[in-house]
Amino acid sequence: MIDRNFISPPSAYFLFGPRGTGKSTWIRDHYPEAYIVDLLPTKTALSYQRNPGQIIQEVLALKKDRWVVLDEIQRVPELLDDVHALMENHGYKRFVLTGSSARKLKRGASNLLAGRAITRNLFPLNEAEVEFSIPPEQLIRYGNLPGRINLHDKEQFEDFLTSYVDTYISEEIKSEGLVRNIGSFARFLDVAALAAGTQINITGLARDAGISRDTVRGYFSIFEDTLLGSWLPAYRPRAKVKEVVSPKFYWFDSGVLNAATGAFRQPMPSDWQGVLFEHWIHHEIRSYLDYSRSRGSLGFWRTPSGSGIDFVWWYGDDIVPIEVKSSKEVRPSVVKSIRSLSEHKKFRASYIVYLGEKELRMGDTWVLPATNFLKKLHKGEILGIA
């Protein structure tokens, strides 16, 4: 069992995360005495749907200090009304409500317990959790899902990730009835994978996938609600330069992205490793910020002239730009974008992350090997409020 950096709240909470990130495993390890209801099997879900109030009767038979886990709560969102009643009328406060999709909860009759349960996320493993024991090149290509950590070779990695993508389409999308036309969603998925990490042009993507713009917007919404991707907004300093504001879209795991593009079957363009590297660093930054409960925002910076910075973290006037390069060498010209932004804002520090082996200093910018950067990140030395 790998120790996770996730810290559980003391009372009721939602725990969201894509399938395969280890929610159920973590729950069973962390709450060995909990009363667990696994709603993933159809038979169990139907039982609770057909018997309103069943969960109330079960929980009332338990002591109030015992944790109650409803695993995959989105399968029967009506149960949240019963949980609400147990909390409000009977004083039960220890609930863990896990889900691999927030869509039915957001769009159903549920009120998410009116703030009585806070929301937390579980990500794929990060480097700190595996004690920096896996080579960056492997993580960039095959990602961080716990299910592949114990696999041993390239073929197993690729089979696992390909099956994950296929299972996602057939189970998470088709069985949940989230789209009417699974074929058009599959085409969207192909195009969205190739556009990963770029500023999204809805019109162009719709044309390439052969579907309408409104359908593309709806599919991105599904993709986000099922926790397999997230938007990265543009950072907009108060400057004279006109910044580009269209957001980027990042997949939650570089290995899943790699499988979705068919990269295990066909060679990808020469810049593809850079896309995967960005996704890996994006995952590490997001998981650190979330688990550490750090304040601040994460975005990117880009101007119409093409200059930009992959990631910018900011909290008020406290700013940290991070540029990501998948090469093993960094030329001095790489710091040009950072200097361009520094004309308008002062930084606490600035970083370039790369696949080389030496720590360097270029002006005021630190150039760090990926592993060195992540060690500092997870120690709280890069981002966060002092």
Instruction: List pLDDT tens digits, range 39-92.
Output: 989 999 999 999 878 999 999 999 999 999 999 998 898 899 999 999 999 999
Of the given ranges (65-69, 129-133, 170-174, 247-251), which has the lowest mean pLDDT? Answer: 170-174
Q: Supply angle C-alpha 343, 344, 345, rounded to 5.
A: 105
pLDDT band with cut points at 50, 70 and 90 for residue 175:
low
Q: Order across the sheet with 118-121: list the strands.
A: 35-38, 68-71, 95-99, 13-16, 118-121
Identity at 234, one-letter amino acid code: A
Q: Domain 13-121 has what CATH class?
A: alpha beta
Close Cβ partners of 290 (under 8 Å, ≥ 6 residues apart):
120, 121, 123
Taking only the tens place, the pLDDT of each residue in 7-46 is: 999 999 999 999 899 999 999 999 999 999 999 899 999 9
What is the percent of the chain with per-residue pLDDT over 90, rounded to a whole number? 62
The predicted model scores a pTM of: 0.92
Taking only the tens place, the pLDDT of each residue in 269-283 is: 989 999 999 999 999
Taking only the tens place, the pLDDT of each residue in 70-81 is: 999 988 988 999
Q: Which residues of 193-231 are buried (b: 16+ CB within 10 A; e: fewer)?
A: bbbbbebbeeeebbebbebeeebbebbbebbebbbbbbe
pLDDT number for residue 255: 96
pLDDT number for residue 241: 54
**How many whole angstroms from its chain centre is CA 83?**
27
Task: Write the DSSP string, 81-129.
Answer: HHHHHHHHHH----EEEEES--HHHHHSS--GGGGTSEEEE-PSP-TTT
pLDDT number for residue 350: 95
Domain ranges of the chain: 13-121, 136-378
pLDDT number for residue 108: 56
Distance, in Å, from the CA atom of 168 to the CA atom of 174, rounded to the nearest integer, reads 9
Average pLDDT along the chain: 89
Close Cβ partners of 158 (under 8 Å, ≥ 6 residues apart):
142, 259, 264
Q: What's the mean pLDDT in 293-322?
A: 89
pLDDT number for residue 109: 46
Taking only the tens place, the pLDDT of each residue in 208-220 is: 888 999 989 988 9
Taking only the tens place, the pLDDT of each residue in 311-357 is: 999 998 899 999 999 999 998 888 888 888 887 678 889 999 999 99
Half-sphere exposure of 266 (CA within 13 A, CB side): 5
